[in-house]
Structure 1
Amino acid sequence: MNELNKRNLEYLQAYFFKVLSLDENTSSLQYMMNKIVKFLVKEYSLQSVSFIIWDEFTNRYTVESTTNEIERESVSHLVFEAFSFLRQQNQQSFTVEGNDVSICLRTDEKKYYLHIVQSEESQIDAEFWEQLSTECGKMLELLLTYKRAVSQEMKYEQLYQITTKFHLSLEMEDILEETVYTLQKVYPDFTYLLLLSYDNKNDRKLPIEYLQYDNKNISEKAMEAYVCGEVEVEYDLVNQSAILYAPLKGKQGNYGVLQVVTEDKELFSKDIVKFITVLAHTAGSALEKAQLYAQSRRLIDDLRLINETSHQLNSNLRLTDTICYMSHQIRESFHAQEVGFVLFSEHSDKYQLLKGSTLFFSESSAHFYIEYVYNRLQEEKEAIFVNESPFSFSNEEMYYHSIIAVPMVQNGVVKGAAIVLHSDPYSFTFDTFKLLQSLIHHSTLAFTNSMLREELEKLVVTDHLTGLYARNYLDDKVEKSMIQDPCGTFLLIDIDDFKKVNDTYGHQIGDQIIIQIANIIIQNIRVKDVGARWGGEELAVYLPSVPIELGVTIAERLVKKVEAETKPSATISCGVSCWSRDKVDTLEELVLRADQALYCAKDLGKNRVVVEREKENTSYSEK
């Protein structure tokens, strides 16, 4: 080696050492090569120097740093051929064509190139170019090694930080957000998409899609990575990009796939694939932990809901109170819009809507849903879970897409159903469906007990033959009314010539006449009025807060309707008495006065109303 080449080489080595040891931006390849190419041009009186990388994926050379702005746009045909020749040679490291020098810088990672255009002032021989190739290759290898070390340190620092955050977080959205943030920080030139296998509310607008086999946006490689749990890579030749699919893997399964797309010229190195794979597995484990935690919280909440509901239902609530409580619980816990409880008839397709159901079930359009539920339950005997309603209405407010119907079964017989509706499709999850099944299963016994208890209470205070209240119930109501109300009217009714009816038609027809008259009474009094069987063929009606004049009008209407509507035709006599708060009175005296008025009605010819007032009988109706 001549003295000039030796001095040039020593000077070059000294500059490399200075740059590598003192410059703060050593990890930036482009920055360092910008300094190198400028140094070579200046110190060796060169016309231009370009640092060029061969991209195997795109099959082209890319100018990374140059002092020739024209060459920055593209590599000339002559240079392309020279580099192609060098790329195929293992020994030769440079070529010289006139003033153009093409040098190959071999490293462990890939091949890089220098394209040098000499000036007329340049006095450089082939020996120097060979030494330059060797020294630049060493420098580049050191630079790349340092760059990899810095990059690895940064990556694993990020991995450490994200792992620490994952351990502190049990929120799925926090984990997903931190995963995307870390990737964007480490590889800002890549684009990312989270392909999840579970529903996520995604309030933070993260890049998320859901893994569904019918989703045309999801590639086969993505599904393969999800199913097999292995990293997959595919190349998009149309868009000149590479796509990596890393499964979000936990111990119990895969929770999705992390999709990473390179830019135009990037390839996935082993280090990149390794880092993304580790990060995806770390995120998958964190998602699994968060999901298990969320499931445990849901189970605790579900058990608490069932326990609270069971405790409330076992506190001897009235049936209406029970239904109201259940409707409220279901609306609050399942975000349902409509909740209905219906009982089915054993002998027909009619149903009874229980009080406490939401108002929609009292509307005519609810019949379609109830009928649909009834038919399916009769056929399948299984709970119904529908995410798309089979009905459509012109009024969209009445169009409920999501339907859950859970049968209320007792001794193997479907007694009724709880029906839950929501206007949005897929509003209820399968977990919601299973929880509602469990809730209704635990509640059915309470419903049945409430109905049986109220039926028993009704039997105690109701006359078996007529369906009217028993005398002791009427007595209790009158006494309470005398304390609470301003006035009241009492009617005592007797069927005229009832013995003759029994003798003529028989006791069975006699019973039918009593039933007919009882039904007429029920149809012609208010809900809060009390109709009762007094004893034998005697009946009674108490009208709370009704003055005597109106009470007489009601009594006369009953007399007329009984004569007109009974078959065989029968008549009644009615004695009327009243009380008011301005006078001291008792139940016994009220009944006694009505009884005296009734006897007077009988004496006056029957089939009439007589009112007793201050021990003076006055006939208000005579036939």
Structure 2
Amino acid sequence: MRFLSDKSIETLKSQFFDLIDTESGVFHYQNVLKTMVKTIQKMLELDEVTLFICHAWKSQYSMGVSTNENIMEVTPSNDSSDWLSSLKTIDFSPTDKSFKDYQVLIPLVRSGRNLGVLCLKGNQTSITPSNQDWFEQFAFVCSSFVQKAQELFKIVMEEKRYKQLFRVNEKFHSTMDMDAVLGEIIYTLQEVYPSFTYYLMLSHDNDNHSELPIKDLEYDSENIAAMEAYVTGTIQMEDSLNERRSVLYAPLKGKQGVYGVLQVIAPDTLTFPSNEVEFIKLLANTAGSALENAQLYQQSKRLIADLQLINETSHRLNSNLRLTETMSYMKEQIVHSFDAEEVCFVLLSPDLKLISVLAGSTPFFETEASTAYVQYVIDRLRQEHDSIFIGDVDLNLAHNEKKFRSIMAVPMVQSGLIKGLALVMHSEPYHFSFETFKLMQSLIHHSTLAFTNSMLREELEKMVVTDHLTKLYSRNYLDTRVHESLDEDQQGTFLLIDIDNFKGVNDKYGHQVGDEILIQVADIIKSNIRESDIGARWGGEELAVYLPRIPLEVGISIANRLVDKVRELSKPSITISCGVSYWNVDNPDNFTNLFKRADTALYVAKDTGKDRVVVQEKINSF
């Protein structure tokens, strides 16, 4: 044929050359290939020209462009792709069923690499084996053109990627928000590789609540490559022939460490392309540095907040708060700052045994259910003599009891001695971070002196108003409290108590036993009155109890109980006599008269047989 000549080849080269527009600075790869097949169709007067492109890193062929606008985009089956790959020379009689409608298949090969296959249909007079030599020149020209187009496309894409990398770098350095950094990584990858799948595999210390594709970085049989990338700081690959996919793990690495792993899944890919690896590596390294900067910024903010918390707490605790106020304030600070569910402050003896749970702890520690946790922590403290941090504790509790899994316990140490401990709990496992634990240690360390001072101050105050032998209140303190009650309350009952035959006890057993008798009676009084009631040593063997807001009938009942308890429990057995007086707003009185009536009633009790209670209203009947 006249057009199948050397001159036609030169014409084709010239037309192909004109397709490459380098002056405008814009290169559209797909449009160039589409114009190429139309040029071939026009020149050879064909019905259809279709170009299948070989994706070397996928080892697959897919339809690139076609002059037949009605043809659907076809991806050859694996068998057809294998058949196309084995196509080394021009085939004028295709046998594969997917290509049987075409007259000739022309493999495009350059530098030993398959670029694609050109499929021609129509004009059977020219598409014959007799034109083999011309078609081989034609294949060479087409191969050179496709290769050149791919190289230009690669350059354009590289430029676009690195512009994106530059843009990402600018974005990374304009924010200190970790979510924004992670989101920008995913957005960039989706823009460059829309068919890939991505996951950010982050360690547990990254507390992220966004909707990004984030997974925990855990060591198991499925994550060996990811963990290796995290530990070694180098890119790892996983290629799967069965699943026809390749997975890349790129560490998000900064100067001080690795902050996670970027997982990139390339479907229908047997080997991840090296040029893509380099770009993802650069992106991951840039992201790692940005994550590091964001994390350091967040750490600095957290440290400033921690220092402010410690400073504010220390300042508040050193403002002469009462012990209960100190504990309550600390509880509120810990609950707010650490997101704790339960907080407890425990007072310990020198041998690390429980003395008491201090007021100000959360209500849970007033229940029996708390005993197991308090005792568990004390036992651990006795063994380790150090702070306790447990992410997932599992105590053997009753089935219906609420379980607390996260525990922090910090001893209160003063002058080298453990005075007590602070216990913080949450029901969720691993709720508290290690940074939270370190802050807890610092907070308790800086607060222990204030705790100790509050306890010493209240102990000193109690010593001033307490009788050193019986540990009951002093007479002066009782006077003060009774006067306050007369001014503020609606009623009150006063008991004046005397130990019967106390001189005889001293003469028979000695003054040491006499002191023990006083202590026994005082202990019985303390164990049978409320915390708001005032038990005091009146003088010598005389004791007194004032019951604010208590009616006379209840006061008489308490007095009788005390008389009975002393008779039953004292050793050697002794008895007491008790005089009772009472006042209310309908019959206002002063403390002198209240005492005189109780004293007169006590005198009557002593004079009428002892070991009894006499009430002020009944005096005249004796």
Q: TM-score, normalised by structure 1?
A: 0.87
Q: How many angstroms apart in 1 are the aligned matches of 2:275 and 2:307?
A: 48
Report the CA distance shift for 1:34/1:489 in structure 2 as closer, same or farther (over 3 A).
Answer: same
In the other structure, the counterpart of 2:488 is 484
Equivalent position to 2:169, from 147, 150, 163: 163
SS at match of 2:126: coil
- Counterpart in 1 of 2:44? 44
Tell me the equivalent position of 1:90.
none
Matched to 1:522, the amino acid is: K
C-alpha displacement of 1:6: 5.6
| Other-structure match for 1:404 | 408
Given that residues 83 and 104 in structure 1 are in contact (C-alpha distance below 8 angstroms), is that contact kept between their aligned partners in structure 2? no
Instruction: Note closer, same or farther for the CA distance 1:562–1:44 as it changes in structure 2 (3 Å cut).
Output: closer
The CA distance in 2 between the partners of 1:103 and 1:496, in whole Å, is 124
Q: Which residue matches 1:196?
A: 202
Match of 2:566, SS state, is helix
Structure 2 counterparts to residues 89-128 of structure 1, below 5 A: 100=104, 102-106=106-110, 111-116=115-120, 119-122=123-126, 125=131, 128=134
Q: CA deviation at 1:597?
A: 4.0
Deviation at 1:184, TM superposition (A): 0.3
Distance in 2 of aligned mates of 1:476 and 1:72? 99
Give the direction of change, closer, same or farther, for the CA distance of 1:565–1:219 in structure 2 (3 Å limit). closer
Q: CA deviation at 1:264?
A: 0.9
Q: Check the 8 A contact 1:53/1:113 in 2, yes or no.
A: yes
**What's the CA shift string for 1:404-447, capped at 9, x where partnerless?**
22222334333332222111111111111111122222222222
Choose the corresponding residue for 1:288, options 281, 287, 292.
292
Matched with 1:154 is 160
1:241 corresponds to which of 240, 245, 250 = 245
Aligned counterpart, 1:516: 520
Map 1:248-397 to 2 at 5 A: 248-265=252-269, 268-346=272-350, 349-393=353-397, 395=399
| Counterpart for residue 219 of structure 1 | 224
- The AA in structure 1 aligned to 2:343 is V
Unaligned regions of 5+ residues in structure 2, if any? 95-102
Compute the displacement of 1:287 (Å): 0.2
Matched, 1:183 2:185: no
Q: 1:573 to 1:95 in 2, by over 3 A?
A: closer
**Alignment RMSD:** 3.5
Offset from partner CA, 1:551-591 (integer Å, 9 cap, x none): 44544444444344433333333344444445664333433
Q: Counterpart amino acid of 2:366?
A: S
Q: CA deviation at 1:475?
A: 0.6
Aligned residues of 1:489 and 1:542 also touching (Cα < 8 A): yes
Cα distance in 2, alignment partners of residues 415 and 72 from structure 1? 77
Could you tell me how far apart the structure 2 residues matched to 1:373 and 1:584 are?
53
Question: Alignment partner of 1:465: what SS?
Answer: coil
The verdict on how the C-alpha distance between 1:3 and 1:215 changes in structure 2, with shifts beyond 3 A counting, is closer
Task: Name the stretch that deviates more: 561-570 or 375-384.
Answer: 561-570
Q: How many Å separate the matches in 2 of 1:428 and 1:291?
A: 18
- What secondary structure does 1:341 align onto? strand
1:21 to 1:277, Cα distance in 2 relative to 1, 3 A: same
- Compared with structure 1, are the counterparts of its residues 202 and 530 closer, same or farther at alpha carbon in structure 2 (3 Å cutoff)? closer
Distance 1:118 1:547 in 2: 118
Tell me, yes or no, if the aligned pair for 2:495 and 2:581 is still in contact at 8 Å: yes
Contact between 1:387 and 1:427, CA under 8 Å: does it hold in 2?
A: yes
Residue identity in the other structure for 2:36: I
2:21 partner amino acid = S
- Gap change, CA 1:255 and 1:576, over 3 Å in 2: closer
Deviations 1:312-344 (A, max 9, x none): 221222222222222222111111111122223
Q: What is the 5 A alignment of 1:445-484?
A: 445-484=449-488
Partner residue in 2 for 1:422? 426
2:16 aligns with 16
1:433 aligned partner, one-letter code: F
The AA in structure 1 aligned to 2:220 is N
CA distance in 1 between counterparts of 2:409 and 2:117 reads 73
Q: Quick check: 1:579–1:585 contact (8 Å CA) kept in 2? A: yes
Identity over aligned pairs, percent: 48
State the alpha-carbon separation in 2 of the partners of residues 471 and 373 from structure 1.
42
Aligned-partner SS, 1:215: coil
- Equivalent-residue separation in structure 2 for 1:399 and 1:234 (angstroms): 42
Q: How does 1:535-614 map to 2 (within 5 A)?
A: 535-548=539-552, 550-582=554-586, 585-612=589-616
Question: CA–CA distance in 2 between the matches of 1:461 and 1:176?
Answer: 65
The gaps in structure 1 that reach 5 residues or longer are: 87-93
Aligned partner of 1:231 among 235, 241, 255: 235
TM-score, structure 2 normalization: 0.87
